[in-house]
Structures are given as C-alpha cells and as structure tokens.
Chains A and B, each alone.
Chain A
Amino acid sequence: MITGAEALVRSLIAEGVDLVFGYPGGAIMPVYDKLYDYTSQLRHILVRHEQGAIHAAEGYARITNRPGVVIVTSGPGVANVITGLSDAMMDSTPVVVISGQVNSKFLGSDAFQETDVVGITQPITKWALQVRRAADIPAAVARAFYIASTGRPGPVVLDIAKDAQTGELEWKHEKLRFIRSYNPRPKISPADIVHAAHIINAAQRPMILAGHGVMISGAEKELLALAQKADIPVATTLLGLSTIPSDHPLNKGMLGMHGNIGPNFQTNKADVILAVGMRFDDRVTCDIDRYAPNATIIHIDIDSSEFNRNVRVDATIHGDARDALLALTPLIEPAKHTKWNEQFDRCNQVERDTVMRAELRHDGKITMGEVAASLAEATNNQAVLVTDVGQNQMMGARYFRYTMPRSIITSGGSGTMGFGLPAAIGAKMGAPERTVVYFGGDGGFQMTIEELGTIMQYGTAVKMVVLDNSYLGNVRQWQELFFNGRYSQTPLLNPDFVAVAKAYGIPGERVEERAFLPAAISRMLSHDGPYLLVVAIEEMDNVFPMIPIGASVEEILLNKTEKFTYPED
C-alpha cells in the first residue's frame, strides 16, 4: 500500500511526465512531500506565481505536443491558474492541473482555503473532476491525460482532497484508451472526402486556411502536399503560423485584423475555401456578413461543434486534420492557378511597398517590426518566437520568419497579457535545443515579471526582448484611431528593466539607437544563458495593415488615412 500522494506522483511518471510546474501550499503538501522522493524522475519547477506555472505548462505543451502539468494548492493557489485555464481552453492546449483540496469531510463548509474548483473551472476546461478517495487517483490521472491530449486538446483539472492524498491504496496504473461518451479520433466519412475533392477539383480560385489544428495533428507535410498538388495558395491564422515555411511560394501570409493583405483581401475573391483546423474566429473573419461571399467553404475539424458555429459552411470533414488530408489528397487533381496565386503576391507587394517599408524605415526611433525582422535574421529563421499580447504580438508575428513547425507560441483566442514570459520558460524547458525568444511589451512584461526569479533559479536560457514604448501600445493605437487620441490610462512610467534583471542576476542591456541593435542582438544570442534586451521603441508607432472592427476583410487600412486598393494593370 502507498499513499494517494505517492500514487499521484507514480501515475504522473507512468503517463510519461518528467517535468511539472507548481507552487506548494497546505492542501497539497502530502504531494510535495512525495515529490521530494522522486526528484530524479520528476523534476519540479518552482515558479513565482501560479499563473506563471500554467502559462509555462502551456508553453511546454505547445512546443512538445504533450500535456503540460501544473501542481498547485487549494483556494488562492488554484484561483491563480484560472486565467491560464481559459487561455488553454481557447487555444486548444493540453494542460493537466492538479490542485489540492481541503479534506473531504470539510467540503462545502468554507473551510480554510476551500474553493469550489470544479464549479469554477467547468466552463473553462475540457473536463474537471474532484477526487475524494485515494483509490480513485490512478484512474483519474489516466483519464485526465487521455482527455487533455486526445481529440481537440484542452485543459483538465483534478481537484484532490487532502484525505485522498493521505489515504492508502494498492497502486496500479493503466493508461486509458477508451471512453464511451468521447470519441477523440472520429472515422472520416469517405463520402465527405469525395464531396470535398469534387468541390476542390472544380475550383478556379481555391484557397487553404491553415489553423492551429494542422500543427496539433502534425499535418504540416500533408497540408503542403495537397497545396502543391493543386497549386493552392495557403493562408494561416495567427496560431497556424509556421505550419508552412515563411518563404514557401504558396505561403501567402497571415489572416486577420493585422494579417497580410493578400490572404485577407483574396478571401472575398475565392470560389473555394478549404479551412483546416481553424475556427473562423471574429479576428479572422472580420465582418461576418461580408465574409467570403463567393466561396464554397469546406471545413475540416476534429471538433464538430465548430461546424457552422461562426460561419455557414457548405461541406464538412469531421476528423483529425492529418487523417483528412491523407484521405483527400489522392483524390485531388493536379492543377495550376498561376494567375490566382499572382493576385495574392500583388497584394502582398503593395503591403511590402507601403506598410512594411514604413515600418522598416531607417530613420527616427526603432520600430518593433525592425526588431522582429532583425531577430529572425540573426537566428537564421530557426528560433521559436514566444510573444506577449499587444502591438508586440502582432509585430512579432508579422515580421518574424518561420522555417519549421512550432516556431511561434502566442496567446491567440484569449489574448492574455503576461502569457509570454512564463510560456517562454516552458517552451525552453520543452525544447532546450532551440533558441527561444520572448518578445513582449513593457506592459505585459510587468504582468508576470516575477518569473525572472524562476529564470534565475533554473538558469533557463530564454532570450528576452522587451519593447519599451512606454505605453499600453495596442490600446493607445485604438485610442489614437477611434477615441480621438484621448490616451486614457495608457502611458506607463517604467522601471529600469535592465536593473531589475540585474537584481535577478540576469545580464541585459538597453538599446535606444538603431546602429547598436544588431550587435546587441548578437550579444544576447551568443550569451550562454538568459539575457534581457530592452529596446526603446517609437511610442506612436501603429500596427498596420488593419481591418477595423465592423469592416470586411477587403477593407484594409494601410495607414491612418489610406485604404488598400487592388493594383489593377
């Protein structure tokens, strides 16, 4: 017989976990006591705030494609992971959160640090369970991992009462492979495949929208094979970035409010849209009533509740993206869409000549786009970009370049400020061999800045780039464009970030002038360990192109006054 706490640790190991992020407290102490005995098999990373633990677990999961694991105490401990749970739910990120709970005999009594974890987390998790008996722990862990990592991944919570941790059981762990009420890998309907192929083969102006699902199912090669076979231009969502290399001729760029002109503008010209593992988020569709009016839309998704949820689609393929593409491609007839492809390139050329040229100008203060482009260049387009939220996120995503999958980690559906720094820690721990660059704003950096302590303690070699525009830039941009320049509560008085890092023993420097940027970047990259680079950024810089709220994907602003028009001959 062993205790429930030990059973939990052993079951985690049996599920292949070797790294957990967490923070101890009263209701989870039996587990921490057992972790002490298993340090060689299960490494625990002590974060500085539970929000840091869950974002780190998300970063870890996004780069490894395996669930990130979080251990926290009851009450305030688990309350601090709520932001991360809803973030992981939105971005289909597998995370297993284990929280301590008061002794089962006190449940419902407002005992010290009791909180209704299952009740709070049910709306923002894929699954949540309270465990009240030691004997139930192994099966609960197996179920948690099975649910988190299969189908459309997502966060799960196991809330384990203290007496279940101290109670005893005969431990035996068996991985779960079947739940009758849950089919994570639906069989693809051959009729749906034939129907979809038929539509694609008849298309004159087809286009592929690649989302996060492509990466989750590991379908990057299959997607490219289909695209190349029929010469179909590919657009990606923010979370779909790096599913196709930036320099591939069929990669036409990113969709959405601050996406590239080609894919946005051409959406409304397309006659067939093949959407793979994406969910037609409103940031992508813009005005939904004027979205893709000419297109027959085929939607591939593992989550059938996404079909017709935001956009009416004409055909669906319910299943894993890779399974679907493998079945579909043999039925696709080779085709050439040279002219159609050129139209995307033309739009994007306008973007390069106007928006990008302005962003990458060589006078005045440094811009975020420049920093992102320099970082990409200095890392041979091989690094992992972990962004925070705001202008930094959009600029990073737009100006960074990607050569291999899983090269961007960003908070998409939730847009959670403070996500970046801990997510970068988790990403670096999940992929120590890769260069991980954190790219965040002066606002968001301060939301989880305490994780510098984690970086210090574990020597995590995250390359941190903080873009100091002394504003909550993204909000300031909206105030400039839509609220008559009334900068209500967006200017920031910042500390000396380099000195803050120094206090944590992390070297760093601040760059104010363009001429010093490349050398500073290479100092950061060649330094063996974490490094902070603070870049003073043009305060009034805005992210363009922009599709304002209420506009259609064709109504694209190139700057504050100018609208995009298609360059006819």
Chain B
Amino acid sequence: MPAQQLFTLTVYSEHCVGLLNQVSIIFTRRCLNIEDVSASRTTIEGIHRLTITVWSDRETMEKVVKQIEKRIDVLKAFLYTDDDIIYQEIALYKVDTAALLREQYLESLIRHHGARILDITPEFTVLEKAGQPWETEALLEQLKPYGVRQFVRSGRVCVTKSPVEKLNMYLEEQMLRQQATFLNPESNV
C-alpha cells in the first residue's frame, strides 16, 4: 500500500441541495473513510466550503480532487497536508459541576489548557477549547476523572499558509470567461 498520510481537502461550491452527497459518493466509491468534515458559508455570497480530512495516499487523493472538481456545482477543490495549512478544531466539554469544583487546581488546569468556561449551572459546566486534536484530547483526558457527560469536536477548519488566494484568482478567471462568453456569441457553445 502506498504511504498513507492525513490530507485536508477544502471544497468550494455553490450552495445547493445534495452537494455534500455529490462529494461524499466520490469517497464511497473508493472506499475512503472520511475522518472529519465541516461545512460553512464563506465570505462570498452563495459560496460554501467543505473541509474534509481523510487518510490516504497522494495519488489517490489527487484523483479524488479532480473527480470532485468535475461535479458541475463544485467550483474548486484544494488538497493539503498539515504543512500547508494552519488548522484548528473546537471542542466542547460538558462536565459535572460538583466534581469540577472539588478540584483543587481547577484554575491552573483551565489556564494550562487555554480553555474557557461557557456556561455553569448547578448540574454541569461547559468548557470550550480550540486547538489541534491532540490538544483537545489532552484536556479530555484530564477532565475524565470529573465525569465528562458530553464531548464534541467541530471537525477541522483551516486556512492556507500560501500568500496567494487561489479561490479568488479562480473566481476572477471565471468572471473574465463570463465576459468573453457574452462578447463572443460563438465561444463556449
């Protein structure tokens, strides 16, 4: 088997029904297991972004990216490894308040992990921590003795380290293509 590594894909698309299915079936066909996925709007009206992480090899992933881009409603897909991006996930922890308050070093624990308290009720306390998976997991381990009732993670979000904003470039190219199409009735038909 070729060398496996964790890849992050970002997929920019029109915001339409069934888009996620169109993307996920490409993984299904190749029997690739998606590690995590997050979806959100972008700053550009109407354009959505998926961030997907998956363990695979580069050759396979390059083919996957091309097949994703081939879907009509997909604008552009980018393939990254961890070196190319700054990435983060958010974790929420719902812990028993009483147990937490018995902890002598609660303050230092929270400080040490850079966590925040979002809500406290007599029953439970909600903590939040942003970081990389190993960091959010480290906090989870420390909180376990106090009874973690729920633990959720957002899945990865990322920005690229590259100084070039490739999506914007792509959109500009398409605008020029659009102008050319309507100036020249013969092109693109």
Contact = CB atoms under 8 A, between A and B. Distances in A.
B177 A305 contact: no
Contacts of A181: 13-14, 72-75, 174
A258 interface: no
B122 interface: no
Interface in A169-211: 177-185
B47 to A, nearest CB: 9
Given A305-B69, A309-B63, A177 B181 contact: yes
Contact of B25 (A123, A303, A304): A123
Contacts of B177: 178, 183
Contacts of A182: 72
A126 B70 CA distance: 9
B181 A123 contact: no
A364 interface: no
B72 A126 contact: yes
B17 A147 contact: no
A364 to B, nearest CB: 46
Contact of B188 (A122, A128, A177, A307): A177
A150 B18 CA distance: 22
A213 to B, nearest CB: 15
B70 A180 contact: no
Interface in A99-128: 118-119, 122-123, 126-128
A179 B25 CA distance: 23
B178 A118 contact: no
Interface residues of A, number: 25
A180 B178 contact: yes
Interface in A240-292: none
B29 interface: yes
A305 B18 contact: no
B4 interface: no
Contact of A178 (B17, B74, B181): B181
Contacts of B189: 150, 177
B11 to A, nearest CB: 11
A12 B143 CA distance: 63
A305 B22 contact: no
Given A178-B182, A181-B13, A122 B21 contact: yes
Nearest to B29: A123
A185 B189 CA distance: 8
Interface in B130-164: none
Contact of A179 (B29, B69, B72): B72
A155 to B, nearest CB: 12
Contacts of B62: 308
A130 interface: yes
Nearest to A149: B189
B31 to A, nearest CB: 14
B106 interface: no
B15 to A, nearest CB: 11
B182 A127 contact: no
Given A177-B188, A185-B187, A185-B188, A305 B72 contact: no
Nearest to B16: A129
User: Which of A130, A178, A184 lies at the interface centre, i.e. has the most chain B CB atoms within 10 A of its CB?
Assistant: A178
B42 interface: no
A178 B175 CA distance: 10
A122 B72 contact: no
A143 B181 CA distance: 16
A181 B11 CA distance: 12
Contacts of A304: 66
B98 interface: no
User: Which of A128, A180, A309 lies at the interface centre, i.e. has the most chain B CB atoms within 10 A of its CB?
Assistant: A180
B188 A178 contact: yes
A302 B170 CA distance: 19
B188 A305 contact: no
A307 B65 CA distance: 12
B76 to A, nearest CB: 8
A418 B13 CA distance: 38
Interface string A467-495: 00000000000000000000000000000
Contacts of B14: 181
Contact of B75 (A119, A180, A303, A309): A180
Nearest to B62: A308
Nearest to B185: A177
Interface string B72-101: 111100000000000000000000000000
B171 interface: yes
B67 interface: yes
B180 to A, nearest CB: 9
Interface in A140-186: 147, 150, 177-185
Contacts of A180: 75, 171, 174-175, 178
A118 B16 CA distance: 12
Nearest to A124: B25
A305 B63 contact: yes
A-B pairs with lowest CB-CB distance, top 8: A305-B66, A180-B174, A181-B75, A127-B72, A123-B25, A305-B70, A178-B181, A182-B72
Interface of B: 13-14, 17-18, 21-22, 25, 29, 62-63, 66-67, 69-70, 72-75, 171, 174-175, 177-178, 181-182, 187-189
Interface of A: 118-119, 122-123, 126-128, 130, 147, 150, 177-185, 303-305, 307-309
17 contacts: A118-B18, A122-B21, A127-B73, A128-B18, A130-B17, A150-B188, A150-B189, A178-B181, A178-B182, A179-B72, A180-B178, A181-B14, A181-B72, A181-B74, A183-B174, A304-B66, A305-B67
Given A147-B72, A305-B67, 11 more contacts: A118-B18, A123-B29, A130-B17, A178-B188, A181-B72, A181-B73, A183-B177, A305-B63, A305-B66, A307-B66, A308-B62
